[in-house]
Amino acid sequence: MDKVYNVLVLCTGNSARSIMAEGLINVLGKGRFKAYSAGSHPGGTVNPFAIEQLKSIGYPTDTLRSKSWDEFSAPGAPVMDFVFTVCDKAAGETCPYWPGHPLTAHWGFEDPAAAQGSDEEKRQVFQTIFRQIMCRVRAFVSLPLDKLDEAAIKKEITAIGKTPVMPLPEQCEQEPLAVASR
Q: Tell me, yes or no, if 172 is annotated catalytic.
A: no
DSSP conformational letter for 100: T
Q: Tell me, yes or no, if 87 is annotated catalytic.
A: yes
Residue 105, CA atoms < 13 Å, CB-side half-sphere: 23
**What amino acid occupies position 61?**
T
Written as one string, the DSSP assignment of 30-45 is TTSEEEEEEESS--SS
DSSP conformational letter for 69: G
Among the listed residues 21, 87, 91, 137, the single catalytic one is 87
Among the listed residues 43, 48, 67, 95, the single catalytic one is 95
Alpha-carbon gap, residue 49 to 143, rounded angstroms: 29
Q: Which long-range contacts (CB under 8 A, 24 or more apart) does 48-51 make?
A: 49/16, 49/112, 49/113, 49/122, 49/123, 49/126, 50/15, 50/16, 50/17, 50/19, 50/20, 50/112, 50/126, 51/19
Q: Which amino acids are annotated catalytic?
A: 11, 87, 95
